[in-house]
Amino acid sequence: MTDTDGFYEELFKDVVTTADAYGMYKEEAFFDIVTDYLTDAGEFDEAIRAFYKPAQGGIRVDGYCGDPLDNAISKESNSGTLGLIIIDFNQNTEPALLSKADLEANFKRVEKFLLKSLDTKFRDSLEPTDPGFGLADMINTRWPNISSVKLFLLTNKRLSSRVEGKEANAIDGRKVIYNVWDITRFGNLVSSGKEREELIVDFDNLPNGPLRALLASSPERSNQVYLAAIPGVDLAYIYDRWSTRLLEQNVRVFLQARSNVNKGIKRTIENEPDLFFSFNNGITATAEAIETTDDGDLCISKLTNLQIVNGGQTTASIYAAFKNNVDLSKVYVQMKLSIVSPEEAKDLVPRISEYANSQNKVSAADFFANHPYHIRIEEFSRRLLAPASDSSFDQTKWFYERARGSYRDAQAYLSAAEKKKFLKEYPKTQTFTKTDLAKYLMVWSEKPYLVNRGAQKNFAEFAKDIAGAWDTDNKQFNEIYFKTLVAKKIVFDRTTKIVQERDWYEAGGYRAQHVVLAIGLLASAIASMGKSANFLAIWNMQGLSPSFERALAQAADAAHAVLMNPGEGYRNISEWAKQPKCWLALKQTEVAWDNEWLEGLIDKEQADELQREGARDQKELNGIEAQTAVVEAGADFWKDVLDWCVKEDEASEKERGILKTATGIPAKIPTDKQSIILVEMMRRLRKGGCPYRLKRSNHRRRV
């Protein structure tokens, strides 16, 4: 459990800081912060703010969880889930209680909006530019494709202990599920050291009860392996409850049921269900913990954090059949289950996923969560001091949260004085996550509309680009790159405030979409002129010049004109913002850019030379760090690695020669180039099952 009052105070400060920094209302800041928690936790893929609250009528909605068709098994099915969000934010610095009456009133408000959305007269009464209209129109259009509705009440109040829950309901034949996230539940999520609530599958609560299994590894082995034949209906029940959270470590997630493979699975389920086990390859899964019983037959009763790392197509196809009322009583799916401890999961599960999917080509981007790109960005963020801004004498750093919650964890055991010092060095407004990073960079690409498709989808596209660029030349990700990244964050943050200061802006009025398209337009204009923004000047200033801000205001005005007038066939402005057609229409807009801003741009050749200089510095730094890591590992470590390579017939002749040199440390020291070869070799050998791991060097170059 968590110290709820302490977490309340911390969250409230975070809300106030965010609201002040970006010029938004506290309710908006609260929405952004807690929906980020829940997006990372896998409760939904995205959260789009669409605030609607008339002066009268007992109606309210704050946002929704994307297009229901995006989570449907197929575009033609009625298996989509609509997610609606309502918030209840306590404006006081002291915690408050959420009573049962408050809970019921909140859900009635959002239910009323849902019902009203199906009423033509209500929709016609709304302004087309009102976020409420866009959401209501989307609900009405998608209603035939929706099978269930999830209502999320997000609050910083504490749910009364007298409230035990709220039973599922139904609206127009659609199942309605109620979710309450109060301050206690948020606190437990954030302080648990995990990025999400645990996923626990209790087989006692499934139609066929505990799952009979066979232990397929030594009982003494730490990572035990089991074989089982899981009933198709049980697999469908599990997927119905946990959805794509089961498939997060599956490198392809799953393909829609329109592919040839899935059509074959579908035919077998419907026509020859008793042969499904024989025809289908089954699923490969992992879990962090297992509970079993053994009364003559070994049975699995409970699994913690189950992940299907291969077999997403199979799982999705069985679930599609389940939703279409196909009889699954004769369908059984073979399952290979590996038990992996939480400590080993981040390293081992992606490897299991990679090998389980090795029958098809898998790009490095698929395993991007553990990519060294992130580690390097994190190292820069802990090492590089930012210049003092005009309003301060203090130098600060920009904190990159490679793992969600690491900013909070870094302060967990600090004294009051140490925490004050930490926050001075790493201000809250100077933190950013992996998905933030992808957003700041992708808006400068020629596809900024991808950012408007949600943090997770944008990150997936970003990962593909970065993984390929890293493999081509990782030296391009250097100190100049990091400073440019921070400069782009500064631009993004300032644009957020500029948008909200425009006369045409209304609270909840598509702020995020405006920001993305405004920066995208500015970036495209710069590129078309063969120029570059002077990102190092922004880094050195830790802010923007007045002329740069004027140009951003011009871009925001142009983006507003296009965004609020959707093209033919589009009525929902949020969906319009996700389309290439919207971006193309915006790019055709002519803007009389501020002359002073134009004069401040630099030639692309100058920017390229700065990058080349950074790459040269990074090459030198890579060699120093590799050599330090090799030397710190010691001669005995390299003797063990060499013996293993000889035994397993691994490593090239050149690599073995360098290994022999390393066994002579400290009398013989491998060169920086040789050390880089050894570091890369160890990364490869680890994937091949080498039991030895080269620790990362603690060496840091002085700034």
Q: What is the DSSP string of 106-170?
A: HHHHHHHHHHHHT-HHHHHTS-TTSHHHHHHHHHHHHGGGEEEEEEEEEESSEEPTT------EE
**SS (HEC) of 247-306:** HCCCCCCCCCCCCHHHHHHHHHHHHCHHHHHHHCCCEEEEECEEEEEECCCEEEEEEECC
Is residue 192 pLDDT above 70, yes or no? no
Q: How confident is the model at residue 648 (pLDDT cuts 50, 70, 90)?
A: confident
When comparing pLDDT for 359 and 297, which is higher?
Answer: 297
Amino acid present at 201: V
What mean pLDDT comes out for the span 166-173?
A: 84
Is residue 42 pLDDT above 60, yes or no? yes
If residue 237 lies in a helix (H) or strand (E), which one and from where to where?
helix 232-242
Res 669: pLDDT: 87
When comparing pLDDT for 407 and 164, which is higher?
Answer: 407
The two three-digit tokens of residue 172, written as one number:
């127009």
Is residue 45 pLDDT above 90, yes or no? no
Res 271: pLDDT: 86
Rounded CA-CA distance 181/196 in Å is: 13
Is residue 196 pLDDT above 60, yes or no? no
Closest CA to 563 of 134, 178, 9, 98: 134
Rounded CA-CA distance 500/490 in Å is: 16
Exposed, middle or buried, 91 (CB in 10 Å: 0-12/13-18/19+)? Answer: exposed
When comparing pLDDT for 356 and 167, which is higher?
Answer: 167
Q: How confident is the model at residue 41 (pLDDT cuts 50, 70, 90)?
A: confident
Q: In a 3-state reduction of DSSP, which class is residue 510?
A: coil
- Four-CA torsion 566, 570, 575, 581, nearest 10 degrees: -60
- Which residue shows structure tokens 């801000």? 549
Of 112-116, 331-335, 368-372, 640-644, give the lowest mean pLDDT range: 368-372
**ω into residue 131 within 30 of 0, thus cis?**
no
Is residue 198 pLDDT above 80, yes or no? no
Closest CA to 94 of 209, 225, 183, 218: 183
Q: How confident is the model at residue 255 (pLDDT cuts 50, 70, 90)?
A: very low
Q: How confident is the model at residue 262 (pLDDT cuts 50, 70, 90)?
A: low
Is residue 68 pLDDT above 90, yes or no? no
Is residue 700 pLDDT above 60, yes or no? no
When comparing pLDDT for 673 and 303, which is higher?
Answer: 303
Res 261: pLDDT: 45
Are residues 261 and 313 in contact, defined by beta-carbon separation less than 8 angstroms? yes
Is residue 170 pLDDT above 90, yes or no? no
Of 227-236, 371-380, 387-396, 400-409, give the lowest mean pLDDT range: 387-396
Q: Terminal CA-to-CA distance of the chain, rounded, Å?
A: 41
Is residue 268 pLDDT above 80, yes or no? yes
Q: Which residues contact 478 (CB under 8 A, 6 or more apart)?
A: 611, 614, 615, 617, 618, 621
When comparing pLDDT for 62 and 681, which is higher?
Answer: 62
Chain-centroid distance of CA 335 in Å reads 28
Closest CA to 669 of 699, 634, 619, 643: 634
When comparing pLDDT for 409 and 647, which is higher?
Answer: 647
Is residue 72 pLDDT above 70, yes or no? no
User: Any idea what DSSP says for residue 396?
Assistant: B
- What are residue 97's DSSP bridge partners? 158
If residue 212 lies in a helix (H) or strand (E), which one and from where to where?
strand 211-215
Helix axes 672-687, 604-633, angle to 10 degrees: 80
Residue 389's CB is within 10 A of a number of other CB atoms, namely 13
Q: In a 3-state reduction of DSSP, which class is residue 478?
A: coil
Q: Which residues contact 120 (CB under 8 A, 6 or more apart)?
A: none
Q: Which residues contact 11 (CB under 8 A, 6 or more apart)?
A: 33, 156, 183, 186, 187
When comparing pLDDT for 107 and 476, which is higher?
Answer: 107
Q: How confident is the model at residue 259 (pLDDT cuts 50, 70, 90)?
A: very low
Res 368: pLDDT: 56
The two three-digit tokens of residue 597, written as one number:
């801003």
User: Any idea what DSSP says for residue 220?
Assistant: T
Helix axes 479-501, 604-633, angle to 10 degrees: 130
Rounded CA-CA distance 90/28 in Å is: 13
What mean pLDDT comes out for the span 7-24?
A: 90
Is residue 474 pLDDT above 70, yes or no? yes
Q: What angle do CA 570, 573, 576 make, to 5 degrees?
A: 55
Are residues 487 and 557 in contact, defined by beta-carbon separation less than 8 angstroms? no
pLDDT tens profile 565-617? 998 888 889 889 999 999 999 999 999 999 999 999 988 888 777 777 766 66
Q: How confident is the model at residue 349 (pLDDT cuts 50, 70, 90)?
A: low
Rounded CA-CA distance 362/353 in Å is: 10
Are residues 235 and 333 in contact, defined by beta-carbon separation less than 8 angstroms? yes
Strands (E), 417-471: 431-433
Res 618: pLDDT: 64
Is residue 245 pLDDT above 80, yes or no? no
Is residue 266 pLDDT above 50, yes or no? yes
What mean pLDDT comes out for the span 305-328?
A: 84
- Which residue shows structure tokens 């990058």? 611
- Four-CA torsion 122, 178, 186, 39, nearest 10 degrees: -70
The two three-digit tokens of residue 399, written as one number:
């904190």
Average pLDDT, the chain: 85
When comparing pLDDT for 391 and 399, which is higher?
Answer: 399
The two three-digit tokens of residue 52, written as one number:
């609607």
Instruction: Please state the pTM of the whole predicted model.
Output: 0.70
Regarding beta strands 174-181 and 169-171, do their DSSP bridges make them parallel or antiparallel, or are they unpaired?
Answer: antiparallel
Res 549: pLDDT: 97
Res 551: pLDDT: 97
Rounded CA-CA distance 52/5 in Å is: 30
- Which residue shows structure tokens 């196909």? 326
What mean pLDDT comes out for the span 523-546?
A: 93
